[in-house]
Amino acid sequence: MLEQIKSKAIPIFEAKFPNATAVFTFDNSTNHAAYAKDALVATRMNLSPGGKQLIMRLTSFIDKDGREITQQMVFSEDYSDPAL
């Protein structure tokens, strides 16, 4: 969309209205639910092993000691719940 605005909408507007300033507004509310299939979306995650799981990508974070930690976002098949 940004490319279309830059390469088409703005040049057309400037040619038609050379002494005016354009103001573009967009309603992005429909885009809020548009995610990649492997996006890390909390409402898509299982809270326990079993059931249908989406395959989400790995994520990583930096711990308090500055180390990068990779975190699996899907329970492995051999996972055993420590609470049981």
Placement of tokens 């573009």 in the chain:
24
The fraction of the chain above a pLDDT of 90, given in percent, is: 32
Q: In the prediction, which pLDDT does 74 show?
A: 73
User: pTM surpassing 0.85?
Assistant: no
Q: How many helices (H) and strands (E) does the chain have?
A: 2, 2
What is the tens place of the pLDDT at every residue in 10-39? 999 999 999 999 998 887 666 666 777 777
Joined together, the tokens standing for residue 74 give 């899907």
Contact 49, 75 (CB under 8 A): yes
- Pairing relationship of beta strands 68-71 and 59-62 according to DSSP bridges: antiparallel
**How many angstroms separate the Cα of 79 from the Cα of each of 19, 34, 82?**
66, 31, 9
